[in-house]
A and B are shown apart, each in its own frame.
Chain A
Amino acid sequence: MTVSRIWVYAEATDGNVATTTLELLAKANELADTVECVTAAGADVATELGAHGATKVYTVGGTDGKLVGPTVAGAIAAAVEGGNAPDAIFIATSYGGRDVAGRLSVKLDAPVITNVVDIAERDGALVGTEPVFGGTTDVVTGFTGDKVGIFLVRPKSFVPAEDPSGAAAATEEIAPGDLGNTNAATVTNRFVEEKSGPSLDDAAIVVSGGRGLGEQDKYQLIEDLAKALGAAPGASRAIVDAGWVPYSYQVGQTGKVVKPTVYIAAGISGATQHLVGMKGSKNIIAINKDDAAPIFSVADLGIVGDVHKVLPALLEALQNR
């Protein structure tokens, strides 16, 4: 058996295709001759998806004001049961993506390979690589049956095509069977947290603070430093849980995966769950008063010192440049 057809679950916000979707498309095109998408974002995204190598986009309607999981999974399952089955489906680890993967897994009675950072072909089938123990160990997992292979892939695992030039994809609507009330969850309001400056996703520099800052007010040091560097401010989960900064700042396994040119970790111990979110950064600078902190094991430059001394001095030096 070879891998001939892969589907990518495509997400978009306000008509803009998510970067994670483009990442998945790049990998899917490397692995299969035919790459197609499934989306709940409407037929308009077919142009951009086509440019990135999708030849067809299956659209799923009826998700406006709903959480997408049950409906999208239902439509994919109906297509598969109707004989239109890909070899595998790539889904990004996003809020909606996880929901789709879990629901689909039950509908197809097929397992999901999760936390995937790489996908490869081995003996004619696809296998996924998952990092464990803070990225020190790689586990390669494959499917034992011949069901559709569901892969739940971490953001920033692949690089989107540099020169997207494919023709717009054809579109076809697919619909779910009876959903009962599984899709009854309804969105009544959306709240967007104001955040200025570059985002964690795109910033060339990320400056993150952790519990070592001592108190909430001291996070201002991180914000100031980020501003001086044109960087995005980030955080460990410890201070997100403590309510110092919003969840959207969190870097790590349950937060953002970042891969900037420079990552600065201040007062962060380097727990495995934090490391998996930033270990892929090109250059890592760590400031921690404990010379045995695990963060130093991934640092290119480590300063064993007090953040309350090093950060203000650094800020002053940058502002004087």
Chain B
Amino acid sequence: MNVVVCVKQIPDPADPGALDPNTKTLKRDVKLILDESDSYGVEMALQLVDTAGGGEVTLVSMAPNSEVGGLRTALAMGAAKAVLVSDEALAGSDALGTSKVLAKAIERAGEADLIITATESSDGYTGTVPEQIAELMGLPSITFAKSIAVEGGTVKVQRQTEAGYDDVEAPTPAVVSVTAGVVEPRYPSFKGIMAAKSKPVDEVTVADLGIDASQVGWAGAGQEILEIAAAEEREAGTIVEDDGEGFQKIVDYLAELKVI
């Protein structure tokens, strides 16, 4: 079984970027890492291929400046190869533009039984990319997967709901988005890290994918940021050190608010 996993490479959230007031995009002059949200998809894909007893995991990523930092991490976990789309024309792409690129890159990655994404990325979190890819590729999709099993041409998913979860199934190929925390992503082994260095990364441009540059980047984005402003701040509260009577402060406050 072959699985394609979309992995986003993002600035380290521990060192968050800032919005560039001129271009109104996130400044991305830092080294990129694998979005933690996508590490679950990579792990899930590796386990599915393992269970199927054959096939491979291929990564697909769109990132500026030929960035492979995050891809190497996922390759070290065990993915076989990657398609990286990197092109100056992509700067400023919105979720729809990104999805157009990813859909073509997934096709380039070869026949897949399953395409896995995260439910939302850590930095963009539009959460629309999975469905946009599925629609562009004309595929069925199941979002918010807590678990995935593939049996003879059918993907079976436990899909998170408001009240609990639904069992949902669809014929493959299909797009499935996985929620965080559903599997424990493995740490790349030393051997894995060494092996990742020589795994193939197929770097392509927008033109290589047959996409018209006017469809993506600033040119293709159908939305624009009009204003960035500081949000209204909450009034500073009272912060006290617990001296054993901290609980009483809470009781008094709740009483003052008349909720007890």
Bound-state Cα–Cα, A109 to B216, Å? 12
- Tell me which of A28-36, A92-100, A164-172 binds B: A92-100
- Give the contact-size bracket for chain B: 35 or more
Q: Mark A121-162, 1 if CB is under 8 A from B, else 0.
A: 010000100011101111111111101000010000000000
A240-B181 CB under 8 A given contacts A182-B134, A185-B169: yes
Within 8 A of B (CB), among A58-101: 67, 69-70, 73, 93-95, 98-99, 101
Task: List, in ascending order, chain A residues with CB within 8 A of B226's CB.
Answer: 122, 127, 140-142
Bound-state Cα–Cα, A73 to B223, Å? 20
Q: Does B129 contact A (CB under 8 A)?
A: yes
- B135 touching A182 by the CB < 8 A rule? yes
Within 8 A of B (CB), among A10-46: 13
Task: List, in ascending order, chain B residues with CB within 8 A of A301's CB.
Answer: 237-238, 240, 249-250, 253
- Tell me which of B4-12, B47-55, B60-68, B120-128 binds A: B120-128
Closest CB in chain B relative to A197 CB, distance in Å: 15
Task: List, in ascending order, chain B residues with CB within 8 A of A145's CB.
Answer: 222
- Give the contact-size bracket for chain A: 35 or more
- Tell me which of B27-35, B70-78, B194-202, B228-236 binds A: B228-236
- B230 touching A137 by the CB < 8 A rule? yes
Task: List, in ascending order, chain B residues with CB within 8 A of A142's CB.
Answer: 223-224, 226
- Tell me which of B79-87, B94-102, B106-114, B204-212 binds A: B94-102
Tell me the dominant secondary structure on chain A's binding face: mixed
- B19 touching A137 by the CB < 8 A rule? yes
- B168 touching A98 by the CB < 8 A rule? no
- A303 touching B249 by the CB < 8 A rule? yes
Interchain Cβ contacts under 8 Å between A and B, 12 examples: A105-B135, A106-B99, A122-B226, A138-B227, A188-B169, A190-B163, A204-B259, A237-B181, A285-B253, A300-B253, A303-B247, A313-B246
Q: Which residues of B contact A (CB under 8 A)?
A: 16, 19, 94-96, 99, 119-120, 125-132, 134-136, 138-144, 146, 159-171, 174, 179-181, 221-231, 233-235, 237-242, 244, 246-251, 253-254, 257, 259-260
